Amino acid sequence: MQVEDKQDLGRRIRYYISKCDQRYTLDKGKTYQDMKNLTIIFFCLFDPFKQGEIKYSLHWGEDFDHTIKLLTGVDVIIINAKGRPNGESKDLLGLVDLINDRPVHLNKYFDWAQKKIK
């Protein structure tokens, strides 16, 4: 969880990806296809891109032709707790409420999380 914008989110994400890759290094005789897929999720109390979205999903792709993807096996999701609702699921909106310390009563998992936070 990132509570303040230090203008280093991209580098932080790069660091966490590298740490995960170090932990799950390939064993001798394995191929790069044997690498585990990785999803990095950042919860931010600020909007890193100033677009107002609640969820940003980032993948490696070509700058001009967005149909070209580099299949790294890495997905980056950024949840912006200050974003404006725009058709997101009840669970995602509940998560944003939870991050912002607003009461959420969607299911037992949210109830459990709120108790743990308190």
pLDDT 10s digits, 16-34: 999 998 888 788 899 999 9
Q: Are residues 45 and 61 in the same domain?
A: yes
Beta strands in the chain (DSSP E): 38-44, 55-58, 74-80
Specify whether the CB–CB gap between 88 and 54 falls below 8 A: yes
Q: Are residues 50 and 69 in the same domain?
A: yes
Across 33-47, b (16+ Cβ under 10 Å) vs e yields eeeeeeebebbbeeb
Residue 116 has phi, psi (to 5 degrees) of -65, -40
Residue 104: which domain range?
88-118
Give the 3-state secondary structure percentages of the chain, helix then strand then coil, rounded to 5: 30, 20, 50
Rounded-to-integer distance, Cα 118 and Cα 113, Å: 9
Residue-level pLDDT at 2: 85
Is residue 64 pLDDT above 90, yes or no? yes
Span 72-83, average pLDDT:
96
Is residue 109 pLDDT above 90, yes or no? no
Q: Are residues 55 and 94 in the same domain?
A: no
Angle of the 108-117 helix axis to the 90-99 helix axis, nearest 10: 10
Q: Are residues 15 and 72 in the same domain?
A: yes
Q: Are residues 75 and 47 in the same domain?
A: yes
Confidence of residue 111 (pLDDT cuts 50, 70, 90): confident
Q: What is the pLDDT of residues 43-58, one digit of tens each?
A: 999 999 999 999 999 9
User: What does R_g of the chain's alpha carbons equal in angstroms?
Assistant: 17
Q: What share of the chain in percent tops pLDDT 70?
A: 100
